Amino acid sequence: MFIKSRTLLAGAVALLTLAACGAGNSPQGVASAKEAVAATVNGAPISEQLVELMLKQRTDLGRPASADSRNAFIDRLAMQLIISQEAVKKGLDKTPEVSTRIELSRQSALVEAFVQDYLKNNAVSEDMLKAEYEKIKAQASGSEYKARHILVENEAEAKDIIARLKKNPKAFEALAREKSKDRGSKGNGGDLGWFDPRGMVPEFGAAVSQLVKGKFTEEPVKSQFGYHVILLEDSRPQQVQALEQIKPAMMQQLQQQNLKKVFDELKAKAKIEIVQAPVPAAAPAQETKPADSAKK
């Protein structure tokens, strides 16, 4: 899955946590002359850049960025800053747990910045997309199938269903709705739509590949999920959607692959030393008292 930006609230909290600590340590601190200020709280600035970032993320989510929403953001940021200033006065930012969470927030913000910078400066080209599309077409060999199935707990149930289908093959959909424990397909009479058998568990894929159109399995097919009775409705050579239809998904996939390669390279160059956690002290052994001798 493509790595997306953090949510608006999470990003704001991470940024504000850091800003609040700095402001609390220097209550009279002000933004630099070049940095626009949206508001101040006890002399500490709320930067215009932060407010604009929050408004932009709001519009990215398809919501309007009005004057009211701007004022609401400033009010929320001011409240967070007021509370964080009080927390700093109490020295809460120096406690081990809070300082660790602040550091994690800082690292998360830097990771997000790195990812966004990489994606901005390493765009996926049309040539890369076309090359990946050709790979997908080359791999799309064989057939895909349209089938239904009924999934049950045990072999005896599956054999009973097969016996009933031999008497009335048209009862498959009704039996699937009644008997199948596959919640994703039972409401549709066991319909699985079109699929590549390689995407199914091996036993299921192999059974489908051997069926004739319009026929069902005459022996239960056992898998890790239970016992299947499968009806093959149709088959066709594998279809590949037009490049324009799958381009967005392909672009996200390539971005993810490229990022993973960069992450793997960085990890390979890094020196990682795992320090073993201290072994907890053993509980002191309890003294055992000798059993009283039997009374005479």
Give the Cα-Cα-Cα angle 91, 94, 95 (nearest 5 degrees): 100
Q: Higher pLDDT residue, 42 or 238?
A: 42
The Cα 182–Cα 226 span in angstroms is 10
**pLDDT range class, residue 287, cuts 50, 70, 90:** low
pLDDT score, position 61: 81
Q: Is 30 helix (H, G, I), strand (E, B) or coil?
A: coil
Residue 1 pLDDT > 70, yes or no? no
pLDDT at 23: 36
Half-sphere exposure of 97 (CA within 13 A, CB side): 1
Identify the band that residue 19 occupies on the pLDDT scale cut at 50, 70 and 90.
Answer: very low
pLDDT above 60 (res 293): no
Cα dist from 159 to 151, 163, 165, 220, whole Å: 12, 6, 10, 6
User: Which pLDDT does position 53 carry in this prediction?
Assistant: 86
List of long-range contacts for 152-160, beta carbons under 8 Å, 24+ apart: 152/179, 152/180, 152/181, 152/226, 152/227, 152/229, 153/181, 153/226, 153/227, 154/226, 154/227, 155/220, 155/222, 155/227, 157/227, 158/220, 158/227, 158/228, 158/229, 159/220
Domain 141-237 architecture: Roll (3.10)
Q: How does the average pLDDT of the chain come out, rounded? A: 84
* Contact (CB, 8 A) for 79 and 98: no
User: Which one, of 196, 173, 183, lies nearest residue 225 by Cα?
Assistant: 183
Structure tokens at 272: 């990682």
Question: 78-107 pLDDT, tens per residue?
Answer: 999 999 999 999 999 999 999 999 999 999
Q: What is the pLDDT of residues 148-198, one digit of tens each?
A: 999 999 999 999 999 999 999 999 999 999 999 999 999 999 999 999 898
Total-model pTM: 0.52
∠ CA 87-108-275 to the nearest 5 degrees?
Answer: 95
β-sheet bridge partners, residue 152 = 227
pLDDT of residue 62: 82
